Amino acid sequence: MKSTKARDAVVAGAQGLALTLLALVGSITLFVLAVVSIALIAVGVGVFTSPPILTLVRAHTGRRRLLAAQWSGVSIPARYRPFPRDMRTGIIGQVERCTLMLKDPATWRDMQWLLVDMTAGAIVAILPPALILDGIFGLLLLAGLWQPIVEADGTYWYSFIPVDGWGTAGLAALLGVVWIKVALYGNPVLVRTHFRLAGYVLTPNREEELEQRIGRLTETRHDALDTSAAELRRIERDLHDGAQARLVAMGMNLGTIEALIEKDPAQAKELVLKARASSAEALTELRDLVRGIHPPVLAERGLGDAVKALALRLPVKTEVDVELPGRADAPVESAAYFAVSEALTNAVKHSGAERIWVDMSYSDGSLRIAVTDNGGGGAAIAAGSGLSGLERRLGTFDGVLAVSSPAGGPTMVTMEIPCELY
């Protein structure tokens, strides 16, 4: 137990030192650059320098969010306004990008955080390593270090203790033990406090969250309408070019059969066989079309079994692990099914994977799905890509999509949809 506390205290001390360096080097540098760049907008130069500098600020802030989650389990949301998909390029594009970034409340929260991080944040972060080092120094004074120090400069003040002999060196060692004891219990708390301070500054207030949520819902509503219209056109095209054409051809064959059945029974028999084949093909196409709209197995047996049936038809070995205590509403199940289908299709076509894993679970009011493959990696959410469309589909239900795909793999596509199971 004590060894665990000691290890945690030392780790927190190293983390505090790293956070201090990030604050004193990264935050101060970026704050100065950002302020100067924004000031230069008045003369036109800042229009070109502000977007890349503010992008670096966002990356620096995002790194702190990641460290907060990894080191202390503190979640700090990122609420940046998305750029329009049709963002123009060139000078006009730079002006628009600069304007949008400066109008985003999250940009000014980042700037406030930089100011807090280089002051209060740095002070809180430096305490964990300082407690350990000061405590060790107190013990070293008792070990004899006080003698050369006192001989060189006279009485040495260790905190509030004037060290000038073995007795006061002993008192300094006792105080050093106190500092180490405080570090054992307080260092992880101090690191967590540093991150909570960042979260307090970076987290948007309720009004901003509601405004962004309304904007996101408005955008996803338009996406849903566009997707529905495109899906309707696809169904009409598939019916016109597929089943409808075969049924028309079959009707013409039946008319010819009616005319030939007495004059040329052999040819009529051949046409009957063709009509039968056409009817089978039309039925197959209609079944595929219905499966593309809403698979029967999804309606009858639920999302888990529908995804398992989908995995069986893939040319790549796919394992599906389902832990769902119930079923979601039909629209949610349909969106999740087609999202998984899109992710699996991308993995089969582009990843070069030999195996795929699908994990489905439900916790904290959200359906979570992870599609992982052992392919070459390199997947990204780019405009016009399948993953971009998948993100818009999930956004209709206030869902989120995250992609982790380093070069060389593996690739993990994680989806989360808020919903209730019944």
Total count of domains within the chain: 3
Give bridge partners of residue 355 from the DSSP assignment.
317
Rounded to an integer, what distance in angstroms lies between the CA atom of residue 332 and that of residue 344?
A: 18
Rounded to an integer, what distance in angstroms lies between the CA atom of residue 300 and that of residue 305?
A: 9
Between 283 and 123, the more confident residue is: 123
Q: What phi, psi does 379 have (nearest 5°)? A: -75, 145
In a domain, 52, yes or no: yes
Q: Is the pLDDT of residue 363 over 80?
A: yes
Whether omega for the bond prior to residue 410 falls within 30 degrees of 0, making it cis, is: yes
Domain with 376 in it? 301-418
User: Which token pair is 64?
Assistant: 């702190």
Residues 43 and 189 in one domain: yes
Range name among 68-82, 309-323, 352-366, 394-408 with the lowest pLDDT average: 394-408
* Contact indicator for 35, 115 with CB cutoff of 8 Å: no
**pLDDT at residue 208, rounded to an integer:** 61
- pLDDT bracket for residue 223 (50, 70, 90): low
Q: Is the pLDDT of residue 112 over 90?
A: yes
Residues 185 and 99 in one domain: yes
Q: Is the pLDDT of residue 231 over 60?
A: no
Residues 279 and 375 in one domain: no
**pLDDT at residue 379, rounded to an integer:** 79
Residues 323 and 280 in one domain: no
Residues 8 and 97 in one domain: yes
In a domain, 73, yes or no: yes
